[in-house]
Structure 1
Amino acid sequence: MDHDDQPTVLLPGEVRMPLLGFGTWQATGKSAYDAVLAALDAGYRHIDTATVYGNEKEVGEAVRESDLRREDLFITTKLPPNRVGRERETLEASLEALGTDHVDLWLIHWPPASPGDSIPLWRELLAARDENLTRAIGVSNYSTPEMDELIQATDENPAVNQIKWSPFLYDRQRHIEHRDRGVVLEGYSPFKTSDLSDPVLTRVASAHGVSPAQVVLRWHIDHEIVAIPKSVTPDRIRANADIFRFSLTAEEMRDIDALGAV
């Protein structure tokens, strides 16, 4: 896969985010290092981690080992919501573990348990962005009303909302709500929440000579939804990256969207 040809979506501040990323949840220690190295080798240029994953150090080591230029990579990490009041120190620990002076995207991992903490947390992310510790900021697992609360309080929209997403969770209204607010939808667990043996997916896959998993990822890309599949198996890591040689027809997209209505 030629990474120069990878489709991206534009975030505020002229930040380009690759639509395909590599997820690292549940990968720790040497298996996280090996998986990220394999992903970078397979052409991924967007790596998704989080403070709570406990693997930022291994991600950083793999990035250094890859010899890729920092500006060619897009790195996301996430702030645990229980770090209210310790946001800056948490980000600094992430940057040190990752071995970089900035991340490309910093997200609030979950809405905080106390709703009153949401806006103060968001203001700390804005401050970190203004100090160039992160190029863009956003949220994860937020509902539309929870995003609106931040937007109304600060006039600053999250660049991204990372939520559980797949054809079987497709919610056209929710997709539109993100688009209307200029918030990029980023999906996680694309396979875990899909039935890869579904006849619609198997039919579309065989029409293109690809796997149902590759169809699921391509469906995200064609919707301009960021996908972050995760795997620690090199073959699967490569297959998940090999989704740029085909695209879905409008009719196939509609058929796959309809899986969410079942």
Structure 2
Amino acid sequence: MANPSINQVLLVAGTHGNELSGLYLQKLIRDGVYQADRSTFQVKNTVGNPPAVKKNARFIDIDLNRAFSSADLESDANEKRLAAEFVKQHADNENQLIIDLHNTTSNMGATLILLSSDPYYARMGAYVKQRMPEANILFEDRKSWIDQPYLCTTGRHGLMLEVGAQAHGSLKYETLELMKNLLTAVLDYIENTNLNNPLKLNDYDAYGYIEEVMFPLDIDGMRLATVHPTSVAKTLLLLSRESLF
């Protein structure tokens, strides 16, 4: 399969209005502190959900990052309106890659979330892992690209960056640096691939979905247990079933 020829990267922040790392990374780009453009493509910035950013809220009516399924894009919900506008502007750009920037309260470190396991993204994971060994690579490819509800799958090419742990509505130096470093590795991969530079890549460990583990419940649907103290904040680490609850 031929690699896509990317001539523009759309950097989206504020898809969730109370996640500030992406918004401030965009500010660093505007202020000339962080150089995002490369020789083969330019980087454009946009804010996904301006009303939610203004209110410092995750969303106004519904989660924008679950609003991009083809069904019900004509809804009156603020986020469905924004999703329909975003699709109209960006769905047909075949040479654009969308990068959606997120931070989370989960202890995920720097995580590259890939919505497809095709060779372009698989090699991207390998490149990022070599450049940034502490990064996590997560394949969220249970659904086909067209059935994904995410903002970054609006067009032909896209991915998400997730950094944490960081409280909502706050800004944290360490997670902003993680996002900068992760973004740099992704942009460099796109540049090298556009230039057909040979890349010597190694095998790597990645994460994927296996199953949901439910809390034990009583007959009234109330939880019978909490997450075991030794397992709290152990995101993306191997846990034994005995230490879950």
Provide the TM-score with structure 2 as the length reference: 0.32
- By relative contact order (CA 8 Å, sep 6+), the higher-ranking structure is 2
Larger fraction in helix: 1
Provide the TM-score with structure 1 as the length reference: 0.31
Highest CA radius of gyration, 1 or 2? Answer: 2
